[in-house]
Structure 1
């Protein structure tokens, strides 16, 4: 179902996407928490929330709340392990290194656009996330990469559509499926 909804929503023109942006849906806090989670036996892993809309200048804190696994928070960028660029041009890329349970990594996102990221050891299991900074009306706005080329299928299928993130403000794993 997500894949069909994604095709429809990502096929919207820039103007149609802008119409879906509701003022006040962007989280305007100075910081936003995204947790790395997993089941007690480690068979499933995910970021929570999976997608979030924030204002430019927001500091995003990634906290490993998984008691079993180490995780990374890694931006899709050619300078980080040769991955395809899935963050705005000119935005700072990041790679947290391995975070043990309860460790935290922070990044401040200032450039408007869509930032896709993944967990290095769990990308093939679909542990990815998307942060939308600002909106289509912001100067320099850069939408998400439209092609899933270069992504494992589980990762490509887990990224929530930008329009869904705008509409909800935040998307949890359960709501995306």
Structure 2
């Protein structure tokens, strides 16, 4: 989680990541002037569209102050989309793929798109870019 002074631009870095089942991802707020979250798209969290595997456990870091961190261990294979609660409308979203992006037909269904700002939808890294590069980073 990073940002420019004054909050003009905010992002996750990397914002696309390929990992193995059982691996833990840690988000650290490195933005000295802002709070951020790492929040899964899931109906149980703020009644959002589900954009994680059906059997996966949803997560919400809550608001993280500068230098605070939050970690999740990923046990289910598939695609996990997440967002920053206060900055989703600025396109602060990310995607994690655990092993293989199987069963991604839901990504473009109306139910998975409902309520997500256009800027957020346009900001997700492609599955191909993650599978090819293993990590997709913001060019600063």
Normalising by structure 2, we get a TM-score of: 0.92
Distance 1:128 1:165 in 2: 14
- Aligned residue number for residue 107 of structure 2: 145
1:47 corresponds to which of 6, 9, 12: 12
Distance 1:82 1:48 in 2: 26
Distance 1:105 1:99 in 2: 8
Aligned length: 136
Distance 2:94 2:41 in 1: 11
| Cα-to-partner distance string for 1:106-139 (whole Å, 9 max, x where unaligned) | 0000100000000000000000000000115xxx
1:167 corresponds to which of 116, 132, 139: 132
- Aligned residue number for residue 48 of structure 2: 83
Secondary structure of residue in 2 paired with 1:41: helix
Root-mean-square deviation (CA, aligned residues, Å) is 1.4
- Which of these two proteins has the greater Rg computed from alpha carbons? 1
Q: Give runs of ≥4 in structure 1 deviating > 3 Å.
A: none
Distance 1:110 1:62 in 2: 17
- Aligned residue number for residue 81 of structure 2: 116
